[in-house]
Each structure stands twice: as C-alpha cells, then as structure tokens.
A and B are shown apart, each in its own frame.
Chain A
Amino acid sequence: MNLAANANIALYSSMIVYTLAMLAFTWHLAARVPTIEGVRVEDREAVLVGSGSRDGEPAAPETPSTPYAAGLVGEQTLKSRQRGNIALMLTYLATALLVSSVLMRGLAVSRPPWGNMFEFATAAAAAVGVAYSVLAKRNHWEWLGVFIVAPILLVLGLSLTELYTEAGELMPALKSYWLGIHVSVAFIAVAMFTIGFAIGALYLVRRHREEKPPAKPNFIESLPTSAALERTSYTVNMVGFILWTFTLIAGAIWAKEAWGAYWQWDPKEVWTFVIWTVYAAYMHSRATAGVDARKSMYIALAGFVAVIINFTLVNLVSTFVGMHNYSGM
C-alpha cells in the first residue's frame, strides 16, 4: 500500500468536504440574519430579562438602541440550527480526513509529518480544524465556521499547488526529537492565533455596527456581543501566546543542540521573537487601564500578520536567508 499516495487522496477528499462545509456554514449564516418583523416585542423582552438577571428581578434598565442590537443570540431558528449542525458534521468529517492524511504521511516517512513547508502548512490546517471542531459544539461557534473553513481551504489549496513536496527523508538538521516538540507546538499555537484572529476581526466589525447601527441587520447582528467576542478572542490568543512562548524556548534549546548557540538572531528567530513581542504587547495593553479594547485588538491582528510573514516571506524570500532553510523548495 502506498501510504503517501493515500495521504494525498485523503487530503483531496478533505478539501471537497471542507468546501461543502463552507457552503453549509454560509447557508447557516443566511438563516441567522435577524428579521425585525419576525421578532415579536414580547420575545425581545423575554430575552433581555433572561440575560440580565438571575433571580427574576427586572433586568438593568438599559434599552437596546436598535431592535436587534442586544440579545438575539438565543433566538436561533430551527432552520439555522439544523444548517449549523449539518455544517459542523461536514467539518468533523473533513477534519478527520485531513488528520488521517497527516498521519498517513507521517507513517509513510516514519517521522513527524512536518519537515517542510507543505507538511507544516497541512499539519497547521489540520490543527486549526481540530481546534475549531473541539471548541465549536460547546461554545456554539457555528457562526465562526465559514471564517475558519475558508482559510483552511485556502492554505490547503496553496500548499498543494505551490508548496507540494514528495514524501521524503529529512535533512540532517531536522533529524531530532525536537522536531516533534518544537514544530508541533508551533503550529498548534498558529492554529490558536488563526482562530483568535478570525474572532478578533469579527469583533471589530460587530463593534463598529454596534456603535453605528446600520439600516439593515445582517448575520453580524446575530453574533455574540462585541464584548463577548473580544473576551473570546483574548482567551484563544492567550492560549496561543503561551504555546508560542513554549515554541520560542523549545526552539532555543534545539538551536543550542544543533548549532551550538541558543540564540543567533537568525531571521526565523527574529520573527518568532517579533511575534512574541507583538502578542506580549497585546496581552499587556489589555491589562493596561484605559486602553481601548479595539486598539488592543489591532495589536493582536498585527501579531497575526507577523505570523503570516514568518511562514511565507521568511521561508521563501532570499532576503531572509538564515539557518532555518527547511522549506523544501
């Protein structure tokens, strides 16, 4: 049995299923669009009371500025719930296919399957899929699906067309058990940053529309409140930041073993450090009294841009030549 070929078949299959999942998530979002006429006044009041108090006391006397500005999250119609479930099921299936593809590739080469850019991109996409699948059901993240599945598809497509490398043996510098530790934690961190970025971007849109209510509601108005989105994005980014700290330290330990010095300001090290400081600044700004959460979020988004640069430009552009030349390109 040719495992590497089967790994590719599983990869293509997962892309097909992810495409279906993306369509289903879009379909789900369409069903979420709040229709003002459809929401009866009594319902809205019930929602407000339910969210604001614990003991049946009247809720805080704050009236929403528009009919749909507050608390429509609980009002999922049967239709949108069904579509959301279909989309989630498809995502689970696609993620399972993708994970099996990564595993088969690993078995085919008898090593951790993230030794070049193609493998890293695939494994990172799988990590995003797994992280989203695990968190989506519990947190009712159906609204996030399309913003997660679309980037996964983009990454898989680009890695197949631009980065594809035949399954093969590693170069000597990568033959170390640290490959399993340092790189896997790195892409799990990247997966968290990706989810944190998607939620963070939605937060900015949601908040903008809360402050300047648009004439017509769309699915954004069915999302959790901007404050809730901001908190969620922070929590996910925080997990990513802790993992990234570990990546940085594990990388330094490995560098000491492979190159004799734990820190040499090699371009990859520089960008790992830049990402770390930007996300550290984000954590810091969020703990600073008087800094607008929106400004903090801009820092986090900048951090994700650095993550992208670190994986693309730093690996592929010759300006950044350093010791981390493992793209396999």
Chain B
Amino acid sequence: MSTDLRAPRTAPPEPALPRLGPVGLLRWAWRQLTSMRTALFLLLLLSVAAVPGSIFPQRNIDAGRVADYMAQNPTTSPWLDRFGFFDVYSSPWFSAIYLLLFISLIGCIVPRTKVHVAALRSTPPRAPARLHRLPEHAEVTTTLSPEEALAEARTVLKAKRFRLHAHDATSVSGESGYLRETGNLVFHLALTGIIVGMAVGHLLGWRGDVILAEGDRFASSAGTYNTISPGPWVDDESLPPFVLGLERLDVQFNETPGRGFGMPREFTAYTSLQESPGAPVTRQAVSVNHPLTVGGADIFLLGNGYAPVITVRDAKGTVLYRESTPFLAQDGNYRSVGVIKVPSAQPKQLGITGFFLPTAEPTFANGPVSLFPDAKNPEVALSIWEGNLFPGGAPQSVYTLNTEEMKQVTKADGSPALVRLKPGQTYEMPGGRGSITLERVKRFAGLSVRTDPGAPISLVSAILATLGLILGLVIKRRRVFVRVRREPTAPDAGAGPPVTVVSIGGLSKDSDAGLAAIVQAVHDHLAERKDRP
C-alpha cells in the first residue's frame, strides 16, 4: 500500500537487468508485497475466499451438520475436508491471505507514517510559476497593493484552515487536509488492532456450556460444564466460582395461526446467582439479548427445551433412576430426542431412548410428530434396549445411546416394545424388568458462559477504524497557491494607476468537488475588495 514504485518511463535502449542478490531479491519481494496493487489483489482474494465458508457447513459453527454433509457426499467430502472447506476460517489458505494482507498493511503503514510525520512538519511547497496550468484557477485584478492582496488571500485561506507559508514576497502557498492521511493511517493501524483483539480473545478467552433444568443448580468450575473450550493460555483454576440455579424458564410461542405460527416470542430464565459459594443469593433474569455478568464472565441464554422427569424402577419397585433428563429439540416444534442410561439395572444394563413431543400428534400416523413447540399435550415415545451400555468402557455423550452391544427389548409376541407415556403414567416393562414412569415435564435452559478479554481491544480498534475511515475518505488534501504581480494599468481599462493581478491556483490529489469553491472564494473575496481606496 505504499506508493506504487514502478520503473521510470524512459527506459534505457538496452535494458540491462540489474543483478539481484539475495538481499535484493528480498527487497524486491517486499516491495511487491507492500505495493497497493498487491494489497488490492489480496483484498479481492479475501472476499472470494470467505464465500465457501457460507456455503459449506463449518465445524466451528455446527459440527453435526458437517457430519451430515459428509455422510451425504461420501466421494467429494473427503477432498473438501482435505482442503479445509469445513474449517475455512482456520484453513491455511484463508489464514495465508489475511496474514499476507496484514503484513502488506504493516509494510505500508510504517513508511507512510514516516512520510506523513515529515509532511506534518514541513511547509507547503513553493507556488508554481504558472498557476493557470493548475486544475482549478482564477485571476482577479485589484487596486490593492500586492502585500494587501496577499494578506486578504491569507485571511480567506486561514479561515478555511489552510496551513500557509510564503516562500517569497509575491506568493503564498497553502495546504490543508493533513487529517486525511492521519485518518488513513489510523484506519489501517486500527485494523491490526482488531486482529490483535481477536488473537487475545482466542488465547485468553474461554467458553463453557451447561444445560440446567428447572430447579437445578450448578457451581462453575472446569469440571462442571457439559462442554468447556478454554483458550490455550487459560488457567482452569481461574474460572469464576459462581453458583447458578435455574428457578423457572418462561417461554412463549406465537399461537396465532398463519405464517408465524409456532415462532418463538419470549424466552426468559429466572435464576438464583451467588458470586461464589457462600455469597448472598441474588435473583436475576437472563433472556436473549440480556446476558448476565458475573466475575468477568457473561452468561447467555442460548437454548432451551424440555427435560421430562423420568423414573425407572426394578421389579421390586426400587428406584434405579429418577432425573430430569434433557431431550434436545430437533425441529421448530421441539420434537426432541434424549437418552436414559440405567447402568444399575439387573440382570442387564438398560438404555432407554426416544422422543419427547411437547404437543404430540395423537395418532402417530407419521411416526412421532410434535405440532406445536409449547407443552400443550406432552408425551414421550421410547424404545428400550438392554445389554452393555459402555462397550469397551469408552466415554460417550449423554445424548446418544451406543447400541453396538445392546438388544432391543421386545414384547411377548416378539414386536419391539414401544413406550408411550403422558405425565403421571407408568409403563410396566415386559419380562419383569421393572417400570418406567413419566413423572412430570420440566423445561431446561441452555446457558453459555463466556469471557473474551480481547473484545474491548477489538471494539476500540473498530471505532477508531471507523473514525479513521471517515477522515480518510471525506477530507481532501488540497493545495492552493496565490501569486501577485504588479502591472502598470488594468488590462481592460486604458491608462490608469498601477494594479495588482492576483492569480489563484488549486490542486488536489483526489476527486475533489470542493476545490473549485475554495479557489472561487478567494477570487470573490479579492474581487469585492478591489475597489477599496
């Protein structure tokens, strides 16, 4: 982004190529990288490179959709994966583009800052001899003395915030719009600030997700989150030790028939919060767009769903399992799937899996379907499996059932046992395996706890970048020169007293509609004064 350094126009007849040593080669590469054309090319490349990330599912957003996509496209997806199309924004090629762009940017800011600092200290250049050659020019004849005329011109330019300097007694040079380059430099510098903020957030930030059913509490520590992803430099011990309980989750959906039927209207979680164990309890509401802040972390309400309370008893009636079990919503009407694992069941471990339907379609003609997201007619539809829950002892997700070493429980006639329960109902499992009861339905809140120490750096940088951008685009760098000469008589009149001819010339590097007005203003000001005695 430094000024374009190109070979001089008058090339020697025999182009003698200079020998580039390793240093020369490096210098050449550096000049290429920091040229404005390269920066332009990299910018365009960056915009094109960002697009695949919006077309292919991305692991950092939704790993599940990536897995689905790979299952549906078994031939192309391994290649796409190899080239990073499912992790575009951390892929080597995307990183290479923006890193090169930022190197190019820094390589341009540093020399340009030096040049600008020098320009800020220097005086406007000497006025050219022939001002009528400049893009904007005007001439006026006045009876003022040359000194007076220059002084008048100075007043106008001073009021328009020009920096003025007289290189000789018959001219004055003015320059304005230094803030343009200042703005440009601030903008580019602030862009690097945004990247620094992102890097700090990545290294020092962390994120933990937790699912809390109504009535549950959890104490924040590295081990208590359902998932936690700390930055590389985060000390697990440093997490804020708050205690959060979910008392109630209020949910509203649109019940008016029509296009928006079933759309969410309101989610609010009413919580009890202690800054640390033993600290006083405060009641706090968390809702979408209204996070909660505690100990430097923000708590967001990002998800919700149903956690039916299910009890599993053995044949003697001993309770083997009684928990509110979160079922995760699969569609807009909250058809949800969940798993109950009962390792203590005898003689074999039991795994129960299936659907929770907040407003069950009663016939099940198209399988288990929910008609509305609110709990108008809640029902669970479950199948029962027995065998080894944890084949090989490997850890597994609480939301999936590994049926590799399990068999589905069947009724006496050999058909699979399908359990349909409404709140309060109990199902007796075949073969004296015990019973399953749906006690009642609770809601759960999906809460995300996050810190991002880099965000303030990015925010301040972004604001500075915007201000710099506005200055850099709106302000124009202008030079205006005024020259006076004494002539014996007015050119249009016959004989008379000597007059002063004032030439005004204006020059701008940028497309500048306002320059003509300034030249005109100096002209008009002098024209008004010319008849002063």
Contact A172 B469 (CB under 8 A): no
0/1 string, B105-140, CB within 8 A of A gives 1: 000000000000000000000000000100001110
Contact A173 B288 (CB under 8 A): yes
Contact A172 B287 (CB under 8 A): yes
A171 interface residue per 8 A CB criterion: yes
Give the complex CA separation of A54 and B523 in angstroms: 10
> Which residue of the partner chain A has the closest CB to B459?
A253
Give the complex CA separation of A253 and B458 in angstroms: 10
Known: A231-B513, A258-B289. A171 touches B264 (CB 8 A): yes
B82 interface residue per 8 A CB criterion: no
0/1 string, A57-69, CB within 8 A of B gives 1: 1000000000000
B335 interface residue per 8 A CB criterion: no
* Contact residues in B for A231 (Cβ distance below 8 Å): 511, 513
Known: A271-B54, A277-B47. A242 touches B259 (CB 8 A): no
Q: Which of A55, A289, A299, A320 contacts B44 (CB 8 A)?
A: A299
Q: Which of B47, B289, B298 contacts A175 (CB 8 A)?
A: B289
Known: A171-B264, A289-B3, A290-B4. A260 touches B291 (CB 8 A): yes
Known: A172-B289, A285-B40, A320-B55. A166 touches B298 (CB 8 A): no
* Contact residues in A for B462 (Cβ distance below 8 Å): 249, 252
0/1 string, B250-280, CB within 8 A of A gives 1: 0000101011100111110000000000000
Contact A260 B137 (CB under 8 A): no
* Contact residues in A for B256 (Cβ distance below 8 Å): 168
B29 interface residue per 8 A CB criterion: no
Contact B288 A175 (CB under 8 A): yes
Contact A172 B264 (CB under 8 A): yes
Q: Which of A170, A260, A314, A320 contacts B448 (CB 8 A)?
A: A260
Q: Which of B60, B254, B289, B290 contacts A169 (CB 8 A)?
A: B254
0/1 string, B453-483, CB within 8 A of A gives 1: 0010011001101100110011000000000
Contact B43 A280 (CB under 8 A): yes
* Contact residues in A for B513 (Cβ distance below 8 Å): 231, 235
Q: Which of B43, B198, B450 contacts A260 (CB 8 A)?
A: B450
B296 interface residue per 8 A CB criterion: no
Contact A288 B36 (CB under 8 A): yes
Give the complex CA separation of A175 and B264 in angstroms: 11
Known: A231-B511, A245-B465, A274-B47. A281 touches B40 (CB 8 A): yes
A265 interface residue per 8 A CB criterion: yes
Give the complex CA separation of A175 and B406 in angstroms: 47
A268 smallest CB distance to B (angstroms): 8
Contact B298 A260 (CB under 8 A): yes
* Contact residues in A for B421 (Cβ distance below 8 Å): none
B4 smallest CB distance to A (angstroms): 5
* Contact residues in B for A245 (Cβ distance below 8 Å): 465-466, 469
* Contact residues in B for A36 (Cβ distance below 8 Å): none
* Contact residues in A for B450 (Cβ distance below 8 Å): 260-261
Known: A55-B139, A242-B473, A257-B291. A288 touches B47 (CB 8 A): no
* Contact residues in A for B58 (Cβ distance below 8 Å): 265
Give the complex CA separation of A283 and B39 in angstroms: 12
Q: Which of A166, A172, A266 contacts B260 (CB 8 A)?
A: A166
* Contact residues in B for A319 (Cβ distance below 8 Å): 55
Known: A172-B287, A280-B43. A260 touches B260 (CB 8 A): no
B61 interface residue per 8 A CB criterion: yes
* Contact residues in A for B265 (Cβ distance below 8 Å): 169-172
Of A165, A234, A265, most buried by chain B (CB within 10 Å of CB) is A265
* Contact residues in A for B207 (Cβ distance below 8 Å): 260-261
Chain A interface extent, by class = 35 or more
> Which residue of the partner chain A has the closest CB to B512?
A231
Q: Which of B1, B88, B264, B289 contacts A176 (CB 8 A)?
A: B289
Contact B139 A265 (CB under 8 A): no
Give the complex CA separation of A252 and B458 in angstroms: 10
Known: A54-B137, A172-B265. A284 touches B300 (CB 8 A): no
* Contact residues in B for A291 (Cβ distance below 8 Å): 37, 40
Known: A234-B511, A249-B466, A257-B291. A284 touches B39 (CB 8 A): yes
Contact B36 A284 (CB under 8 A): yes
Contact A277 B473 (CB under 8 A): no
B417 smallest CB distance to A (angstroms): 36
Known: A260-B450, A265-B58, A267-B54. A172 touches B259 (CB 8 A): no
* Contact residues in B for A321 (Cβ distance below 8 Å): 65
* Contact residues in A for B493 (Cβ distance below 8 Å): none
Contact B259 A166 (CB under 8 A): yes
Contact B36 A265 (CB under 8 A): no
> Which residues in chain B, 429-468, are within 8 Å of chain A measured between CB atoms?
448, 450, 452, 455, 458-459, 462-463, 465-466
Contact B50 A277 (CB under 8 A): yes
Known: A234-B511, A238-B473, A283-B473. A256 touches B455 (CB 8 A): yes
* Contact residues in A for B40 (Cβ distance below 8 Å): 281, 284-285, 288, 291
Give the complex CA separation of A283 and B511 in angstroms: 12
A262 interface residue per 8 A CB criterion: yes
Contact B263 A289 (CB under 8 A): no
B242 interface residue per 8 A CB criterion: no
B70 interface residue per 8 A CB criterion: no
A214 interface residue per 8 A CB criterion: no
Of B43, B54, B302, B511, most buried by chain A (CB within 10 Å of CB) is B54
Contact B258 A261 (CB under 8 A): no
A311 interface residue per 8 A CB criterion: no
* Contact residues in B for A27 (Cβ distance below 8 Å): none
* Contact residues in B for A258 (Cβ distance below 8 Å): 288-289, 300
Contact A165 B459 (CB under 8 A): no
Contact A246 B466 (CB under 8 A): yes
Known: A55-B139, A283-B473. A270 touches B254 (CB 8 A): no
Contact B53 A265 (CB under 8 A): yes
A74 interface residue per 8 A CB criterion: no
A186 smallest CB distance to B (angstroms): 15
Contact B458 A262 (CB under 8 A): yes
A259 interface residue per 8 A CB criterion: yes
> Which residues in chain B, 44-91, are within 8 Å of chain A measured between CB atoms?
44, 46-47, 50-51, 53-55, 58, 60-61, 65, 88-89
Give the complex CA separation of A319 and B62 in angstroms: 13
Give the complex CA separation of A164 and B6 in angstroms: 56
The 10 A-B residue pairs with the shortest CB-CB distance, nearest first, are A277-B47, A267-B54, A270-B54, A172-B288, A260-B300, A176-B289, A281-B43, A288-B36, A260-B450, A249-B462
15 new A-B contacts at CB < 8 Å, known A245-B466, A267-B54: A54-B138, A54-B139, A55-B138, A168-B256, A231-B513, A241-B473, A256-B452, A263-B198, A265-B89, A266-B61, A277-B50, A288-B36, A289-B4, A306-B47, A322-B54
Provide 14 A-B residue pairs closer than 8 Å at the C-beta atoms, listed in order of the A residue.
A234-B511, A242-B469, A242-B473, A245-B469, A249-B462, A249-B466, A259-B300, A260-B300, A260-B448, A264-B60, A274-B47, A274-B51, A320-B55, A328-B259
Q: Which residues of A contact B (CB under 8 A)?
A: 54-55, 57, 165-166, 168-173, 175-176, 178, 231, 234-235, 238, 241-242, 245-246, 249, 252-253, 256-267, 270-271, 273-274, 277-278, 280-281, 283-285, 287-291, 299, 306, 314, 319-322, 328-329
